[in-house]
Amino acid sequence: MRWPEAIHEELSGAGVRVVGYVPDAGHKRLIELCHTDPNMRAVVLSTEEEGIGLAAGAWLGGQKSALLMQSSGVGNIVNVLGMVRECRFPLVTLVTMRGEQGEFNPWQLPMGQAVRPVLEAMGTVVQYADKAEEVAPIVNAALRLAYNSYASVAVLISQRLIGIKSFQEQAAQ
Amino acid sequence: MKRRDAVQQLLLDRGELLVVAGLGSTAWDCTAAGDSPLTFPMWGAMGQAAMIGLGLALAQPQRRVLVITGDGEALMGLGAFATIGVQQPANLTVAVIDNEHYGETGMQQTHTAHGVDLAGIARACGLKVVAFEEARNAIYQGVGPHFVVVKVEAEKIPLVLPPREGALLKARFRRAVLGPNADLD
């Protein structure tokens, strides 16, 4: 089983019903799996911060959710993470990284390198997965931490695992 | 129309209606109409009221959900209307109380004072736009998603504040919706 399938299995097993996403090539397979899962509502967002509102509303209504984005999207959610912290909303954010290992687009670098300090400054617990076999257990632990301890948890999925090394490869996805 | 009268009319005999109140004047308006555990008043996260309403509407499809927010708050999250248009939640109404000004920051004009048409944007995103006279029917029994703009006077009126603590507002709302198990799940 590849890591996107393994993540989907963890989300499903934890009872996640709502999955908000801004598409990223690294999340392509997981987004497809969430869309075809009859027990999940996959919600395409126009910007990542919408996913925070969506997750908060779902939890107010008693449902668990997950939020999928690329590292650039972390910059879009900063202020809204203030609500997550103040209200102690549980939140699981799965971030596919750009601007780190082997990046080919220099415009990705500044935000990619700022992801961890920005999230930590806003009170989000950051966990990092850079081996395929570790992704599922780390997501499993993130879901338990978020929903048992009312925490905001982000799992950063290393660019090494995404494996895209050029614009041409990205376009061919 | 006066904003407090408009909100009072929308919330009269609200029963089990779930309400998300956008930050600032609309949160005070909802509180003036009667503080309720079934209202989630926001004190921040500007631009997210409609999205919280969407999450709630998807999680509670058997309940009616009303977002009451201001023109400034709605303008900060216009993308939410596109996202709601895709999801088509039948039980959601977004009501924008439009005084064409940023009321909490010195009454500067918003875009709607210059002709930006929020109802036109919502309609183009796939929401069903209704007039204020039809709003109660839309909120309490119509097949949405609905959108209503209520043009109101730009007036400075006394603040009527809800509780501030976010964790408290979340917990009381969940208890009121989900019952005593809300704290155990």
Q: How far apart are CA B96 and CA A168, in angstroms?
A: 45
Annotated domain spans of chain A: 3-171
The whole-angstrom separation of Cα A69 and Cα A51 is 9
Task: Walk along chain A (173 residues) in steps of 10 and give the mean pLDDT of each run.
Answer: 94 98 95 98 98 98 98 98 98 97 93 98 98 97 97 97 79 74
Under 8 Å between Cβ of B125 and B74: no
Average pLDDT taken over every residue of chain B: 97
Residues of chain B contacting residue A78, judged by C-beta atoms under 8 Å apart: none
* Residue B130 reports pLDDT greater than 90: yes
Of A57, A59, A87, the CB nearest to B54: A57
Which among B40, B79, B167 has CB closest to A46?
A: B79
Between CA A103 and CA A113 the distance in angstroms is 11
- The answer to whether residue A172 neighbours chain B at the CB level (below 8 Å) is no
Q: Is B51 on the interface with A (CB under 8 A)?
A: yes
> What is the pLDDT, as a whole number, of residue B148?
98
Burial string for B151-174 (b: 16+ CB within 10 Å, else e) reads ebebeeeeeeebeeebeebbbbbb
- pLDDT score for A172: 76
Strand-by-strand arrangement of the B39-41 sheet: B39-41, B18-21, B65-70, B92-98, B146-151, B128-129
Return the minimum-mean-pLDDT range out of A72-81, A162-171, B55-64, B100-109. Answer: A162-171
Q: In which band, very low, low, confident or very high, does the pLDDT at B126 lie, cut at 50, 70 and 90?
A: very high
Domains and CATH numbers, chain B: 3-183 (3.40.50.970)
pLDDT, residue A90, reads 98
Two tokens at B119?
Answer: 């109802």
Q: Would you call A62 and B185 a contact, using CB atoms and an 8 Å cutoff?
A: yes
A47 touches chain B (CB under 8 A): yes
DSSP H or E segment with residue B92: strand B92-98
C-alpha B83/C-alpha B54 separation (Å) is 9
Q: Which element (helix H / strand E) includes A21?
A: strand A16-21
**Closest Cα partner for A123 from A76, A156, A61, A79?**
A79
Q: How confident is the model at residue B184 (pLDDT cuts 50, 70, 90)?
A: confident
Mutate to test the interface with B, among A87, A91, A147 (most CBs of B within 10 A): A87
SS3 B52: helix
Res B73: pLDDT: 98
Peptide bond preceding B145: is omega within 30 degrees of 0, i.e. cis? yes
Q: Do residues A164 and A25 lie in contact, with contact meaning Cβ atoms separated by under 8 Å?
A: yes
CATH number of A3-171: 3.40.50.970
A17, A49, A61: residue with CB nearest B48: A49
Closest-CA distance of chain B to residue A130, Å:
31
* Residue numbers in A near B57 (CB within 8 A): 57, 61
Instruction: Using CB atoms, pick whichever of A41, A50, A52 lies closest to residue B79.
Output: A50
